Amino acid sequence: MPSLFSSYRLGGLTLPNRTVMAPMSRVRASAGGLATPSMASYYAQRASAGLIVTEGVQPSRVGQSNPGTPGLHTDEQTDSWRQVTDAVHTGGGRVFAQLMHGGRVSHHETTGLQPVGPSAVAGEGSVFTPSGPQPMPVPQALGTDEIPEHVQSYAHAARRAVDAGFDGVELHGANGYLISQFLSSNANLRDDRYGGSISNRIRFAVEAATATAEAVGAARTGIRLSPGGGIWGVTEDDAAELNTALLTELARLDLAYVHLEATADEDVLLGLRKTWPGTLIMSPAMPGGPKQAGRAEADHWLGLGADLIAFGRGFLANPDLVERMRSRLPIAPADENTFYQGGDAGYLTYPTYQHTA
Q: Per-residue pLDDT tens for 97-147?
A: 999 999 999 999 999 999 999 999 999 999 999 999 999 999 999 999 999
Provide the CATH number for the domain around residue 140: 3.20.20.70
* Enzyme catalytic residues: 177
> pLDDT of 54-103, one tens digit each?
999 999 999 999 999 999 999 999 999 999 999 999 999 999 999 999 99
Domain that holds residue 114: 8-338
Neighbours of 133 (CB within 10 A): 10
Residue 248 covered by a domain: yes
pLDDT at site 293: 76
How far are the Cα atoms of 115, 210, 252, 261, 341 from residue 286, in angstroms, in the given order? 27, 28, 29, 7, 22
CA separation for the pair 286, 102 (Å, rounded) = 20
Q: What is the mean pLDDT of residues 186-194?
A: 97
Which residues make Cβ contacts (< 8 Å) with residue 296, sequence separation at least 6? Answer: none
- At position 19, the amino acid (one-letter code) is T
pLDDT at site 265: 93
Residue 207 covered by a domain: yes
CA separation for the pair 163, 157 (Å, rounded) = 10
pTM of this structure = 0.96
Q: What is the mean pLDDT of residues 3-10?
A: 98
Instruction: For 223, list phi and psi in degrees, rounded to 5.
Output: -145, 140
> 3-state DSSP call for residue 184?
coil
Residue 2 covered by a domain: no
- At position 253, the amino acid (one-letter code) is L
How far are the Cα atoms of 160, 178, 294 from residue 332, in angstroms, in the given order? 35, 34, 12
pLDDT at site 185: 94
171: closest CA among 74, 246, 264, 85? 246
Long-range contacts of 328-335 (CB under 8 A, 24+ apart): 328/295, 329/353, 331/292, 331/294, 333/292, 334/292
H runs (alpha helix) in the chain? 37-45, 75-90, 108-111, 147-163, 178-183, 198-201, 203-216, 239-250, 266-275, 295-303, 313-317, 321-326
List, in sequence order, every residue forming a beta bridge with 56; answer none if it has no partner. 98
CA separation for the pair 127, 134 (Å, rounded) = 5
> pLDDT of 280-328, one tens digit each?
999 997 544 456 778 889 999 999 999 999 999 999 999 999 999 999 9
Residue 274 covered by a domain: yes
Residue 353 covered by a domain: no
Of the chain, the percentage scoring pLDDT greater than 90 comes to: 93
pLDDT at site 1: 79
Query: Which H or E run includes 151?
Result: helix 147-163
Q: What is the mean pLDDT of residues 8-26?
A: 97
pLDDT, mean over the chain: 95
Instruction: For 261, list phi and psi in degrees, rounded to 5.
Output: -90, 145
Neighbours of 200 (CB within 10 A): 16
Q: Is the pLDDT of residue 241 over 50?
A: yes
Q: What is the mean pLDDT of residues 231-257?
A: 96
Neighbours of 61 (CB within 10 A): 15
pLDDT at site 288: 47
Residue 251 covered by a domain: yes
Q: How many domains does the chain have?
A: 1
How far are the Cα atoms of 72, 202, 248, 264, 267 from residue 271, in angstroms, in the given order? 35, 18, 12, 11, 6
The answer to whether 58 and 33 are in contact (CB under 8 A) is yes
Task: Tell me the pLDDT band of 203, cut-offs 50, 70 and 90.
Answer: very high
DSSP state of 231: G
pLDDT at site 291: 64
CA separation for the pair 311, 228 (Å, rounded) = 20
> pLDDT of 254-290, one tens digit each?
999 999 999 999 999 999 999 999 999 999 975 444 5
Of the chain, the percentage scoring pLDDT greater than 70 comes to: 97
The answer to whether 149 and 63 are in contact (CB under 8 A) is no
CA separation for the pair 50, 134 (Å, rounded) = 37
The sign one gets for the Cα dihedral 186, 191, 196, 202 is negative
Residue 48 covered by a domain: yes
pLDDT at site 341: 86
